[in-house]
Amino acid sequence: MVNYYIKDNNRVINSTDLKLLSDLGYDEVLWIDMMAPDEIERKTIEDFLSISLQTRQQAEEIESSSRYFEDESALYANTSFMIAPAENALNSEQVSFILCEGVLVTVRPIGLRAFSETIRKLYANFRVYPTCFHVMVSILENRIDIDADMVEMLAKEIAVINRQSVENYNSHLDSELLLTINRLQENTMLMRESIIDKQRMLSSILKSDRFPRDTNPKLNIMIKDTGSLVSHADFAFERLEFLQNTVMGLISLEQNKVIKVFTVASLIFMPPTLIGSIYGMNFKVMPELEWVWGYPFAIIFMVLSVALTLLIFRFKKLL
């Protein structure tokens, strides 16, 4: 699907009819937004702007030269936008920006909140977005605000998990908690990579001569914001590592307690086992075999050996 936005005096109008696009000039079109475009739609936009759109594979390449580059006719920028398709899960979606002939072209696989927010603001106050460069900066600004919210949500979830691990120390600690911590670590790393990707792109934009100078103050603020978000993500990851080590330590303590119980139990029953083994031998000459009180003596002897062992453990503070 392709939506394009046309400048019309002091407002902006939207259209999805690609047949009308050929009748428009570059100075009339502000933004062409392509969401999961098919081959016909891609070909139409390429013919209109006389450029070649990147494929999904090209947009996903991690080399710096593929993430941001300029040529004589256009500027290309690729970055990742984090989404939460399911509860407690994060996925990365690639978004491409092409600036050509004063027109912004965006290519995205799905609907994204940063774009919806920009469209809403574009309709509300068109004068704030006089050029395609301002529209692109606005999309990135909205995305950074969303990233900040996601990092904050991660921090809150980490705090909840931390409280649960402490509260459940005496009741239940299992592999599910470790899997939850692992999931949060993965989400934090994905968020950090996505934010750093935007930070690099913003730095490249700031160095570009194509962007209007009046966008520089906002770009500088956005770079500082991304730097702050990276620091928060690093802190969150370190906190998760500390929490993981704490949980592993608590689980080890619980296991040690169980092993201690079995060890003490085996040691307690060692003396009576020895006594039972001695009097269970079948040698011909054994004085106690003919003793009337031999059986009760052996039983009492076993009980006393258990009691003595327990007293020793108590004295040594092993119980």
Per-residue pLDDT reduced to its tens digit, 264-275: 778 888 888 888
d(CA 38, CA 168) in angstroms, rounded, equals 52
Per-residue pLDDT reduced to its tens digit, 281-305: 777 777 777 777 778 888 888 888 8
230 C-beta neighbours (distance < 10 Å), count: 17
Q: Where in the chain is the domain with CATH 3.30.460.20?
A: 2-253
| pLDDT for residue 173 | 60
Mean pLDDT of 64-80: 80
Which residue shows structure tokens 């086992």? 273
Mean pLDDT of 14-35: 84
Identity of residue 41: E
d(CA 113, CA 106) in angstroms, rounded, equals 14
* For the chain, the helix, strand and coil percentages under 3-state DSSP, each to the nearest 5: 65, 15, 20
d(CA 49, CA 18) in angstroms, rounded, equals 13
Per-residue pLDDT reduced to its tens digit, 131-146: 889 999 999 999 999 9
Architecture of domain 2-253: 2-Layer Sandwich (3.30)
Mean pLDDT of 70-93: 82
List the beta bridge partners of residue 93. Answer: 81
| pLDDT for residue 144 | 93
Which residue spans within the chain are E strands per DSSP? Answer: 2-8, 11-15, 29-35, 68-70, 74-83, 91-100, 103-108
pTM: 0.76
Is-contact 119 216, C-beta < 8 A?
Answer: no
Q: Is the pLDDT of residue 177 over 80?
A: no
Q: Is the pLDDT of residue 191 over 60?
A: yes
Mean pLDDT of 73-96: 83
Pick from 100-104, 145-149, 220-224: least confident: 100-104
| pLDDT for residue 168 | 63
Q: Characterize 195-222 residue by residue with b for buried, 16 or more Cβ atoms within 10 angstroms of its Cβ, and e for exposed.
A: bbbbbbbbebbeeeeebeeebeeebeeb
d(CA 149, CA 223) in angstroms, rounded, equals 17
Overall residue count recorded for the chain in this entry: 319
Percent of the chain whose pLDDT exceeds 90: 11
